[in-house]
Chain A
Amino acid sequence: MELSLFAPELIALLGGLVLFAAPILGAGSATTWRLAVLAGSATFAGAVWSLPLSGEAFSPGIYYVDAFSQGVKVVVSLGYLLVVLGAREPVTLKAHAWSELPLFVLLASVGMMMMVSATELLTLYIAMELAAYPVYIAIALHRNPAIGGESSTKYMVQGMMASAVSLYGMSFLYGLAGSTYFEAITGQMGALSSTPLFWFGIILLLAGFLFKLAALPFHFWAPDTYEVSPHEVITFVASVSKVAAIAVLCRIMSLVMPAGMDACSVQNVLMWFAVGAMTLGNLAALRQSDLKRLLGYSAVAHAGYALIGVQAMSANGLTSALFYAVGYAAMSLICFLVVATVGRDQDRVSVEAMSGLWQRSPSMALVFLVGLLGLIGLPPTVGFIGKWFLFSAAIEQGQFVLVLVAAINATIALYYYLLVLRQIYLVDAPTDAAPLRWTPALALSAGVGSIVVVAMGVVPSPIWDQAAAAVATLLH
């Protein structure tokens, strides 16, 4: 066992212990928050440091550390840090829970970091649940217990169903391959790929991650949960967990890709999920008056876009999906940071609440504009170039119709994003609206997020090359 390979997760877990102990030892929420920022920074530093490492952290075949896993860990830990920076005063949570939020979110992040390294079915399953449960709890910490309890239960029931389906799929894979190790499964791919039940198992396995991604057919939770969950928690769910979900989908696809044409059925299913998610998400978003719910549907649509890359079953496709996931996480993050600030006093944030944001805080409106331009898919943001990568990956596979559907969807989406934009820039703020203030931490978080959104659009190569290298190690 090589402990240094486990460094980022270990740092995060130690940070988790500190965050657990701090409130017990009497630290206030401000102190805990500082500790959380520290833990996030240390995890991020650890992840960056571990970027060039590769090897197996535990007994062989269980837990890979490579460019792929470490790259995603860098993103997840940075995402955690930014979310926590923005959650200095998570007012939508119960006051006593202020110091608990960073802990739960950190534990979920550890789960996600482990998800992308797991190369054994049970490890993957445990990591997946580790990433899920803290979020269920965090949602339940809503300042209004009725809302929190209900929203958390709904999310949890659906999440558990999805993970049960995944587990069921895993049991088939184990039964057929006689092993839970990915290596063993790929080793027998020749025989397995001609077994129908194997594909049955693979598709069921995908369920848990489609759920995290809010892709069809596990999208139902997204609008509801987005709408009523505490802003700070949903900021995390809407950004960081998407990257982890896409990463694991990429890992699973890389597992079956050597099977070649036999894997086409999976490809087909994912393609239809992509089409369904894009279309349903965008159409349903058209008439939403609740901004968080609208962004929930937009998340469903974006899950569909990202799936385009996953289903392309090529190095370029997986790379573009990863790239887009990272970009999307940044766009989503900055949008929700602003939403959380604007909606401090409300449990729900209507589109109307954004009225005249431009007058209340030009810089906050600008951040939101950057996020929206990204979601719309306009240059110079990552939304444009990311979609471009996804579309060209699909075109390389000759999927014109799919790209056409996606492009039409992007146009439909423009409609509701412009409605929000209009509310921000073209409608006057209510006269009694208080001016909005940046806290330094929030400004830092939103600033980094905005820079990522624009920088990845203008200079895509660093992240793209990193993602391509990651995918190359997956496919080696």
Chain B
Amino acid sequence: MDTTTLILATTFAPFAGFVIAILFLHRSPQLAQVVVTTSAAVALGGAVQLWLNGPAEPLRYLWFTSGAIDLYFGFLLDGLNLMFGVAVALITLCVIVYSIGYMADDPSKTRYFALLAFFEWAMLSFVYAVDLLQSFIFWELVGLASFFLIGFWYQKPSAAEAARKAFLMTRIGDVGLLIGVLLVMMTAGHFDIPGLLDPDVGLVTRLAPATLTAITLLIFVGIVGKSAQFPLHTWLPDAMEGPTPVSALLHSATMVAAGVFLMARLYPLFLAAETTRSVILVVATITALLAATMAMVDRDIKKVLAYSSISQLGFMLMALAAGSLFAGVFHLITHALFKALLFLCSGLFIHHFATNDLEQIGRSGGRGMRLTTIGLLIGGGALAGVPPLSGFFSKEEIFAALGHGGGSAFTIAAFAAAFLTAYYTFRMIFLVTVPDRIEPHTADDHHEGSAEPWTMALPVVVLSLGAALAGGWGDKIAAALGVEISHHSIGDMLPAIGVVAAGVVLAWLDFGRGDRAGFLTRIPALQSLFSNGWHIDEIYRAVFVRITGWVATLLHGMEVKGLDGGFDRFGVGILGAGSGSRRVQSGWVQFYGGCAVVVVGAIAFYVGMGG
């Protein structure tokens, strides 16, 4: 098949799956499941074939012309896109197959699978986009899909709330991205990504450094929102209110990955903007450390994983900011594999034991689920950076990048974060697998059927292989990105190994022998600080509530006083919140009209005299 057919099949198969499922298959969820799974399989086949074919010329179709600017819809087929497209398609297919088991009893399966297909379509179209505006559009659609999936169990008020929060917070970042994209339009006059990145005629050569810094910083604001970086990170832990397979997707190859991917996609711009990279490095480092501390104390298995995602995304951005595209993308891919694996494993535990609580899972006999436990060990090991699992190699690249790019303070911070990662990961593993010393086992055998049906086991196996072996793909990834890499000697790797070992040992001392209290319980101040997420959410809530309160009071006062004439019930009006609509009846139109006329008159007078 030629490239055009392949890419269209890859991106539009999920879309077709979505449309068919949502329009026609409401009454036959089984069929919807089959259709969506097939479409995801087609997408994966197409993505793999494209990857095997190797980089190709971009495809561009004129979408429309607005003013002097041509907008294209098309596909960019270079190493980065092709590789990440495979990762997205693979992980999505795994999640969809897994969902067949996980969501078997859900009454609205059709909606669920249709949304997954929509999500995949949006993400793949974002990844392959050739035009920056196209990227932005699909970036928004990825956010929209996340909103619906996080809020999928809308019966839970917390899920609805989390969905809204995720959407709002990422959209705050999008304000920056939008302005950045508009700036690109104004300065470059086009949105063609290869053209923007071109070393001879691209933005880097055409723009003044200050403008480039402004553009990249604005784009980074969008990345902060999407990739859940400090200070907009608080939506991600809440987003685990969605079904677990959705979390697996959200945290690995889609949604949060979109932010990091965008930076990698536009990397030459960031590389040329020193100031921006310094800012990113600081933000990413803070995020990596902050989120790691929160993961140390949470008892909810999905929340621990969510915090670890935030922290690992920080790692990726640190690498990119330090100047290593390879390290960032390498970790993006390995993380996608092992984080998807970890979420799927956690989903198996949750599905079987009907609890998110780490200790409860451990007590109910979490290690009895052999395959899941093995998956947890592989995924956790990779996350912690245990050699020779994949995470070790990608993290090692990040340390190397920081070592020669970022200065020592950041290197130390990265090692500290890696130490914390090893600690909280193995805390999680020990809590689940080591029997409680005081309360070793609570009989909990009311669960019927196989704990690990094949639909759920198969993806775990596939992803386990990926998470275990991806460390060896460094050369391939570097080749796809077209960068040279140097191989590290064992001596270079020693610090990383040491840090991980220290973390694991500390976790073992705390939790490895059946204890349930870590060293942090002896430092209550820290324990509470960490488990409250450094109170960041509370601060936001307080500030937000206060501001909206002010605004509401102000406007309500204006409304009520305006309507009421402001005389007979002065002051009381503001308090009578519910009476606003009643008061409409009293109508004080003259006031309205008078205001308007006076305002216009005054302005016209001012303009007339001044202009």
A128 CB, nearest partner CB in chain B, Å: 16
Bound complex: CA A414 to CA B610 (Å): 39
- Beyond A200-B604, A411-B171, A460-B64, is A395–B589 a contact (Cβ under 8 Å)? no
- Residue A439 at the chain B interface, CB threshold 8 Å: no
Bound complex: CA A459 to CA B172 (Å): 27
Q: Which chain A residue has the least Cβ–Cβ distance from B611? A: A265
- Beyond A157-B589, A227-B581, A269-B607, is A426–B160 a contact (Cβ under 8 Å)? yes
- Residue A56 at the chain B interface, CB threshold 8 Å: no
| Partner of A203 from B69, B581, B607 at Cβ < 8 Å | B607
| Partner of B607 from A154, A265, A293, A410 at Cβ < 8 Å | A265
- Residue A137 at the chain B interface, CB threshold 8 Å: no
Across the interface, which residues of A come within 8 angstroms of B154, CB to CB? 425-426
Across the interface, which residues of B come within 8 angstroms of A199, CB to CB? 604, 607-608, 611
> Is the Cβ of B186 less than 8 Å from the Cβ of A200?
no
> Is the Cβ of B144 less than 8 Å from the Cβ of A378?
yes
> Is the Cβ of A150 less than 8 Å from the Cβ of B587?
yes
Near B by CB (< 8 A), chain A positions 257-273 give 262, 264-266, 268-269
- Residue B178 at the chain A interface, CB threshold 8 Å: yes
| Partner of B67 from A262, A316, A414 at Cβ < 8 Å | A316
> Is the Cβ of A411 less than 8 Å from the Cβ of B172?
yes
> Is the Cβ of B600 less than 8 Å from the Cβ of A165?
yes
B232 CB, nearest partner CB in chain A, Å: 12
| Partner of B589 from A154, A217, A287, A392 at Cβ < 8 Å | A154
Q: Most chain-B Cβ atoms within 10 A of its Cβ — which of A224, A262, A293?
A: A224
Bound complex: CA A248 to CA B559 (Å): 30
- Residue A179 at the chain B interface, CB threshold 8 Å: no
Across the interface, which residues of B come within 8 angstroms of A201, CB to CB? 604
Across the interface, which residues of B come within 8 angstroms of A459, CB to CB? 64
- Residue B107 at the chain A interface, CB threshold 8 Å: no
- Beyond A379-B140, A392-B182, A403-B179, is A316–B66 a contact (Cβ under 8 Å)? yes
Q: Which of B1-9, B244-252, B294-302, B549-557 contacts A (4 or more CB under 8 A)?
A: B549-557
Across the interface, which residues of B come within 8 angstroms of A403, CB to CB? 178-179, 182
B103 CB, nearest partner CB in chain A, Å: 18
> Which interface class (under 10, 10 to 19, 20 to 34, 35 or more) fits B?
35 or more
> Is the Cβ of B175 less than 8 Å from the Cβ of A200?
no
Across the interface, which residues of A come within 8 angstroms of B610, CB to CB? 196, 265
> Is the Cβ of B599 less than 8 Å from the Cβ of A217?
yes
A9 CB, nearest partner CB in chain B, Å: 30
Across the interface, which residues of A come within 8 angstroms of B593, CB to CB? 157-158, 161-162, 220
> Which interface class (under 10, 10 to 19, 20 to 34, 35 or more) fits A?
35 or more
- Beyond A157-B593, A395-B185, is A407–B584 a contact (Cβ under 8 Å)? no
| Partner of B179 from A197, A404, A464 at Cβ < 8 Å | A404
B192 CB, nearest partner CB in chain A, Å: 16
Q: Which chain B residue has the least Cβ–Cβ distance from A146? A: B585
| Partner of A464 from B64, B548, B585, B594 at Cβ < 8 Å | B64
- Residue B164 at the chain A interface, CB threshold 8 Å: yes
- Residue A88 at the chain B interface, CB threshold 8 Å: no
A160 CB, nearest partner CB in chain B, Å: 8
> Is the Cβ of A220 less than 8 Å from the Cβ of B167?
no
> Is the Cβ of A389 less than 8 Å from the Cβ of B141?
no
> Is the Cβ of B596 less than 8 Å from the Cβ of A218?
yes
> Is the Cβ of A224 less than 8 Å from the Cβ of B584?
yes
Across the interface, which residues of B come within 8 angstroms of A373, CB to CB? 144
Across the interface, which residues of B come within 8 angstroms of A264, CB to CB? 611
A57 CB, nearest partner CB in chain B, Å: 32
B contact face: mostly helix, strand, loop, or mixed: helix
> Is the Cβ of A165 less than 8 Å from the Cβ of B140?
no
Bound complex: CA A11 to CA B601 (Å): 39
Across the interface, which residues of B come within 8 angstroms of A286, CB to CB? 548, 551-552
B472 CB, nearest partner CB in chain A, Å: 39
A278 CB, nearest partner CB in chain B, Å: 13
For A388-418 the 0/1 string (1 means CB < 8 A from B) is 1101100110001001100110110011001
Q: Which chain A residue has the least Cβ–Cβ distance from B137? A: A379
- Residue B65 at the chain A interface, CB threshold 8 Å: yes
Across the interface, which residues of B come within 8 angstroms of A251, CB to CB? none
> Is the Cβ of B600 less than 8 Å from the Cβ of A418?
no
- Residue B592 at the chain A interface, CB threshold 8 Å: yes
Q: Which chain A residue has the least Cβ–Cβ distance from B604? A: A203
- Residue A360 at the chain B interface, CB threshold 8 Å: no
- Residue A204 at the chain B interface, CB threshold 8 Å: yes
A244 CB, nearest partner CB in chain B, Å: 20
Across the interface, which residues of B come within 8 angstroms of A227, CB to CB? 581, 584
For B555-571 the 0/1 string (1 means CB < 8 A from A) is 11001001000000000
- Residue A47 at the chain B interface, CB threshold 8 Å: no
B118 CB, nearest partner CB in chain A, Å: 12
> Is the Cβ of A220 less than 8 Å from the Cβ of B171?
no
> Is the Cβ of B608 less than 8 Å from the Cβ of A200?
yes
For B213-253 the 0/1 string (1 means CB < 8 A from A) is 00000000000000000000000000000000000000000
> Is the Cβ of A379 less than 8 Å from the Cβ of B551?
no
> Is the Cβ of B604 less than 8 Å from the Cβ of A204?
yes
Bound complex: CA A472 to CA B610 (Å): 31
> Is the Cβ of B179 less than 8 Å from the Cβ of A407?
yes
Across the interface, which residues of A come within 8 angstroms of B160, CB to CB? 422, 426
> Is the Cβ of A196 less than 8 Å from the Cβ of B185?
no
Near A by CB (< 8 A), chain B positions 568-592 give 581, 584-585, 587, 589-590, 592
- Beyond A199-B607, A389-B66, is A411–B168 a contact (Cβ under 8 Å)? yes
- Beyond A265-B610, A286-B548, A286-B551, is A203–B179 a contact (Cβ under 8 Å)? no
> Is the Cβ of A200 less than 8 Å from the Cβ of B66?
no
Near A by CB (< 8 A), chain B positions 305-326 give none
A17 CB, nearest partner CB in chain B, Å: 34
Across the interface, which residues of A come within 8 angstroms of B555, CB to CB? 280, 283-284, 287
> Is the Cβ of A395 less than 8 Å from the Cβ of B183?
yes
Across the interface, which residues of A come within 8 angstroms of B29, CB to CB? none
A290 CB, nearest partner CB in chain B, Å: 6
Near A by CB (< 8 A), chain B positions 130-168 give 133, 137-138, 140-141, 144, 151, 154, 160, 164, 167-168
> Is the Cβ of A379 less than 8 Å from the Cβ of B608?
no
| Partner of A392 from B66, B151, B172 at Cβ < 8 Å | B66
- Residue B56 at the chain A interface, CB threshold 8 Å: no
Bound complex: CA A415 to CA B144 (Å): 14
- Residue B603 at the chain A interface, CB threshold 8 Å: yes
For A119-160 the 0/1 string (1 means CB < 8 A from B) is 000000000000000000000000000000010011001100
- Beyond A199-B611, A403-B182, A407-B178, is A220–B64 a contact (Cβ under 8 Å)? no
Across the interface, which residues of A come within 8 angstroms of B584, CB to CB? 224, 227-228
A217 CB, nearest partner CB in chain B, Å: 4
A394 CB, nearest partner CB in chain B, Å: 9
Across the interface, which residues of A come within 8 angstroms of B185, CB to CB? 392, 395
- Residue B517 at the chain A interface, CB threshold 8 Å: no
- Residue A384 at the chain B interface, CB threshold 8 Å: yes
> Is the Cβ of A220 less than 8 Å from the Cβ of B596?
yes
- Residue A207 at the chain B interface, CB threshold 8 Å: yes
- Residue A461 at the chain B interface, CB threshold 8 Å: yes
Bound complex: CA A410 to CA B174 (Å): 10
- Residue B24 at the chain A interface, CB threshold 8 Å: no
- Residue B597 at the chain A interface, CB threshold 8 Å: yes
A–B Cβ pairs within 8 angstroms, 17 of them: A153-B587, A157-B593, A169-B604, A217-B595, A217-B600, A218-B596, A218-B600, A220-B595, A224-B587, A266-B607, A268-B607, A378-B144, A389-B66, A395-B186, A396-B186, A411-B168, A426-B154
Q: Name the 7 nearest CB pairs between A and B, nearest first.
A: A200-B608, A265-B611, A220-B592, A161-B593, A426-B154, A461-B64, A203-B604
| B contact residues vs A (CB 8 Å cutoff) | 63-67, 69, 133, 137-138, 140-141, 144, 151, 154, 160, 164, 167-168, 171-172, 174-175, 178-179, 182-183, 185-186, 548, 551-552, 555-556, 559, 562, 581, 584-585, 587, 589-590, 592-597, 599-601, 603-605, 607-611
Given A392-B186, A395-B185; 15 other pairs, CB 8 A cutoff:
A153-B589, A154-B592, A158-B593, A162-B593, A165-B600, A204-B601, A217-B599, A220-B593, A280-B555, A380-B137, A400-B179, A403-B182, A422-B164, A426-B160, A461-B65
